[in-house]
A and B are shown apart, each in its own frame.
Chain A
């Protein structure tokens, strides 16, 4: 009886909150800056250099250097691909010895210890993807104070703890790519739902906020049904996508997956219920996991940047910073096979527009 009572209490609690939330998109509350609907480049306002300065670095212009790449964690497909890019960038330059070493899980304490060890053992440069922007700052500042150059990629530290940061794709660029892709499939009056990781994951919340703003500006008639959480669990993502289809029936025309786990799981749910072509799936995803769905035509296209290019660019930026060819105030930097990359917000190097993987190009990528 006691159990029954507590279950009833739990249910009452749940029902109470049910009416509190209307359409909860899952975005954060920071200001948004949606891109122009036609893709016109946004006006760039010059921001003075806001990165850090390295102290007492030896002049290594053109000389061989050794750098270490410290990703958030090692052993996952995404950072395997960035490491590959780092190695390729070093090879193209010829004068760089690069090594990738990171924690086995995305743990900031392990990452700090690791960076500290590399400072002690002596390297010329550190490229990193931070597990926490604030917590990593002191150890990076320590590196800068010992004449070691510091460049971030993928996940930034606070700007005063590194010289440059290579941004994979702007939040508003990803938002535009996803929403335009979906709108082209389900039409301007289609209804869609989103499967994300959790409402508190900063990156996903930022993308969703930008998607909300861009949808209101450029696809005002599209209906955002709801956002559900599925952590980064593929069975839960699959179940959540199924539940969305069951809940909305014919009303649901599209699903967007916000994680590399959710997107293939949503595609699988659509495939298993024989609704390919009826319900469009798009989202952020690694191409390898989407090849079966894209090649069979069940999914039209998914969006991401190339993590290999990201690692490649980080090494190129590092070399340019050490050589002095990239200086505060510059508006672009040469990055080997990637050409000229734009610099925005004082010290952020932009990798470029996100890549949409479709039947036409997905088989050219292997990560």
Chain B
């Protein structure tokens, strides 16, 4: 099926390892960092490895990981979406409003996903055909979503959600449902981007638009399609986000878009497009909640989380820049 890179005649294990690290260097780094944190903190306090805490760590940021799948695709194309945090807030409020007004549960789950697809598709059209930079479009969208949400809801929390609606609280074999969503969607999206023509085209366009055009890819169509897909992931993330508790705050979650973009970037997506995988962004999302939990176990102010993440972004972008220099 795929054209794997030409293999060395007799690859030694060391060479194979090097090749793997070169291809998945950032993913490996995040995984190692995650393991280091888990081992270090559990040596200080074994409760960190308790089954409920592991569950909380893996499930706690699952909605971030799901949204970061779409964000990874957007960044791969060389675009950005700073409206996704506000969009998730709005979509969660839509889901909650439908659920408390007696609509069938599946409608309350499905409508936010469809609305997410529509909103992002419009953003995609503005970016691809009207040629407005994505950062400008999405900054405009943020204001519309924030203002619209506060006007419509008056800031009143949505409560009395029907228990059947709270999908993020469902469990199967003791594992919370968001974990299944996160793992399933990451694997599906990862394989699709590796093997399906449409998925591979994302890398082609992100790497070099003109080259992609010459091999018959239509970058504009692809861009709209990828934004729409990103909207679907945002919708699923919103449903997981909104059903985690008994109430929906009906405000825009603070800095959520930054957390999502950070997950993508620390997961190894090159900020100028063309490189990176969704496995990295999902690992990074789990890594964040592991750090966040570790801060409580170590009695450290949550402010350090921001500082540590900031450091990691700088290091990642630096590493990316150096890789580029090496290859050009």
Contact = CB atoms under 8 A, between A and B. Distances in A.
A104 B150 contact: yes
Contact of A246 (B36, B52, B246): B52
Interface in B248-302: 249, 251, 253-254, 289, 292-302
A2 B157 contact: no
B72 interface: no
Interface residues of B, number: 57
B299 A18 contact: yes
Nearest to B50: A246
Contact of B296 (A4, A247, A288): A247
Given A77-B157, A272-B169, A243 B249 contact: no
A15 B289 CA distance: 17
A7 B155 contact: no
Contact of A11 (B26, B36, B60, B245): B36
A239 B246 contact: no
Given A14-B308, A104-B147, A3 B29 contact: yes
Contacts of A77: 155-157
Nearest to A18: B298
Interface in A10-46: 10-11, 14-15, 17-18, 21, 24
A85 interface: no
A84 B298 CA distance: 45
A17 B47 contact: no
A331 interface: no
Nearest to B154: A75
Interface residues of A, number: 53
A242 B247 contact: no
Interface string A234-252: 1110111011111111000
Contact of B293 (A15, A231, A238, A239): A239
A244 B296 contact: yes
A273 interface: yes
A24 B26 CA distance: 36
Contact of B245 (A199, A235, A249): A235
Interface string A209-249: 00000000000000000101111111110111011111111
A76 B251 CA distance: 9
Contact of A2 (B156, B302, B304, B319): B319
Interface stretch (B102-110, B212-220, B310-318): B310-318
A229 B301 contact: yes
A6 B312 contact: yes
Interface centre among B48, B241, B299, B312 (most CB of A within 10 A): B299
Contacts of A2: 315, 318-319, 322
A243 B253 contact: no
Given A75-B154, A77-B155, A247-B45, A233 B296 contact: no
A185 B324 CA distance: 61
Nearest to B251: A76
Interface string A117-132: 0000000000000000
A229 B247 contact: no
A235 B67 CA distance: 16
A37 B295 CA distance: 35
**For the complex, would chain B's binding face be called helix, strand, loop or mixed by DSSP majority?**
helix
B16 interface: no
A239 B56 contact: yes
Contacts of A279: none
Interface string A287-318: 01101100000000000000000000000000
B208 interface: no
Given A77-B157, A104-B150, A234-B245, A6 B311 contact: yes
Interface stretch (A261-269, A320-328, A335-343): A261-269
Contact of A80 (B29, B154, B289): B154
**For the complex, would chain A's binding face be called helix, strand, loop or mixed by DSSP majority?**
helix
Interface centre among A8, A15, A246, A247 (most CB of B within 10 A): A246
Contacts of B156: 77, 80
Contacts of A265: 245
A136 B206 CA distance: 50
B306 to A, nearest CB: 10
A285 to B, nearest CB: 11
A10 B52 contact: no
Contacts of A268: 245-246
A264 B60 contact: no
A8 B6 CA distance: 35
Interface string B133-176: 00000000000000100110011110110000000010000000
A231 B249 CA distance: 14
A292 B160 CA distance: 8
A168 B170 CA distance: 41
Given A6-B315, A247-B45, A239 B60 contact: yes
Contacts of B327: none
A76 B60 CA distance: 26
B47 A247 contact: yes
Nearest to B310: A10
A233 B253 contact: yes
Nearest to B241: A235
A7 B296 contact: no
Contacts of A226: 296, 299
Interface centre among A3, A18, A104, A228 (most CB of B within 10 A): A3
A292 B245 contact: no
A11 B37 contact: yes
B244 A273 contact: no
Given A4-B33, A226-B299, A288 B159 contact: yes
A21 B169 CA distance: 35
28 contacts: A2-B315, A3-B29, A3-B319, A10-B311, A14-B298, A18-B300, A77-B155, A226-B299, A229-B302, A231-B254, A231-B302, A233-B253, A234-B245, A234-B249, A235-B60, A235-B253, A236-B292, A239-B60, A242-B56, A245-B52, A246-B53, A247-B45, A247-B297, A261-B249, A264-B245, A288-B157, A289-B159, A292-B160
Given A10-B312, A234-B247, A249-B50, 12 more contacts: A3-B26, A4-B32, A10-B308, A15-B40, A24-B299, A75-B151, A76-B155, A77-B155, A229-B302, A234-B245, A248-B47, A289-B157
Nearest 7 CB-CB pairings of A with B: A246-B53, A6-B315, A75-B155, A76-B155, A243-B296, A3-B29, A229-B302
